[in-house]
Amino acid sequence: MAQFVTLLGSLRKASFNGGIARALPALAPEGVKIVPLGSVGVFPLYDADVQAQGFPPAVTAMGEAIRAADGVIIVSPEYNYSIPGGLKNAIDWLSRLTEQPFKAKPILIQSASPGALGGARMQYQLRQCFVFLDARVFNTPEVMVGGAMAKFDKETGDLADQGTKDFIGKQLAAFAAFARA
């Protein structure tokens, strides 16, 4: 059984991206288990002076979980045409671990936004980070959920749009094949 971990770039409780991340285990293809990582919100701001004193336990634990996983699914909003600060901070911390956990790791990126582009600009900038980290970023199909307000249950925040669920399921199946290759 393949195991993927989910790294959520949003801190907001009612986040559309959190709704996608919560839906992933049920949308996973047979033979794939998807489990969430801890919150990027518990990481202190990256500071080399803090690093010199030792890595925070949350950073070490997340790095170990990523190393043990068969792939990483990053689900994140776009902030100001870019990567949310909390997510970028987590990547900066994790990239400094002795055994950098993203090296050669299959990475899948998903995003949702109320806007029409669905987080596309964030995804392209995030891909650039992973070039330097020597990760294997999955290319297509891309999941960028635009007009997200109409695709989530207003009461629960859960992903409700069946077409979006079906498309994410197809992407997950393709990612599973990519990760095995």
Q: What is the predicted pLDDT for the residue at 93?
A: 98
pLDDT digits (tens, 9 = 90+) for 67-126: 999 999 999 999 999 999 999 999 999 999 999 999 999 999 999 999 999 999 999 999
Gap between the Cα atoms of 143 and 50, Å rounded: 36
How confident is residue 59, by pLDDT bands cut at 50, 70 and 90? very high
Region 165-177: mean pLDDT is: 98
- In the chain, the number of structural domains is 1
pLDDT tens for each residue of 118-151: 999 999 999 999 999 999 999 999 999 999 999 9
Distance CA 56, CA 47 (A): 11
pTM of structure: 0.97
Q: CB of 38 within 8 A of CB of 58?
A: yes
Where residue 123 sits, what CATH number does that domain have? 3.40.50.360
Q: How far apart are CA 78 and CA 33, in angstroms?
A: 26
User: Which of 70, 71, 75, 69 minimizes the C-alpha distance to 40?
Assistant: 75
Q: How distant is the alpha carbon of residue 2 from its chain centre?
A: 17
What token pair was written down for 151?
């695709």
Question: Average pLDDT, whole number, for the chain?
Answer: 97
Vertex 175: Cα angle to 171 and 177 (nearest 5)? 120
Domain housing 47: 2-180
